Amino acid sequence: MAIEKSNVSLRGLFSFFTTPGMPASKKRSGSSGGAEFDLKNYANRQVAAVNRALSGYLPSARTKPATIHESMRYSLFAGGKRMRPVLCLAAAEACGGTAKAAMPLACAVECIHTYSLIHDDLPAMDDDDFRRGKPTNHKKYGEGIAVLAGDALLTQAFEIAAKCDGWRRYSHQDVILEIADTAGSLKLIAGQVADLEGEGKKTSAQQLKYIHERKTSALLCCSVRLGGMSANCTPTQLKALTDFGYHVGLAFQIIDDILDVTQTSEKLGKTAGKDAAVQKATYPSIIGMDKSRRKAKELTEKAFGALKTFRGKAAALESIASYLLDRDC
Ligand code: GRG
Give per-residue pLDDT as tens, 206-264.
999 999 999 999 999 999 999 999 999 999 999 999 999 999 999 999 999 999 999 99
What pLDDT was estimated at residue 280? 85
> Which of 19-33, 92-106, 136-150 has the lowest average pLDDT?
19-33
Rounded mean pLDDT of 195-215? 93
User: CB of 120 within 8 A of CB of 192?
Assistant: yes
What pLDDT was estimated at residue 278? 81
- Nearest protein CA to atom 27 of ligand 1, as residue: 80
Please work out whether the CB of residue 259 comes within 6 Å of at least one atom of ligand 1: no
- What's this model's pTM, rounded to 2 decimal places? 0.92
DSSP per-residue letters across 234-299: -HHHHHHHHHHHHHHHHHHHHHHHHHHHHS-HHHHTS-TTHHHHTT---HHHHH-HHHHHHHHHHH
Spacing, Cα 219 to ligand 1 middle (Å): 9
∠ CA 56-18-230 to the nearest 5 degrees? 40
pLDDT band at 3 (very low <50, low <70, confident <90, very high): very low
Spacing, Cα 120 to ligand 1 middle (Å): 8
> Which of 133-137, 191-195, 269-273, 289-293 has the lowest average pLDDT?
269-273
Please state the atom number of ligand 1 nearest to the C-alpha of residue 11: 28
Spacing, Cα 116 to ligand 1 middle (Å): 6
What pLDDT was estimated at residue 166? 87
Spacing, Cα 251 to ligand 1 middle (Å): 14
CA 169 to chain centre: 25
What pLDDT was estimated at residue 32? 54
Please work out whether the CB of residue 247 comes within 6 Å of at least one atom of ligand 1: no
SS3 134: strand
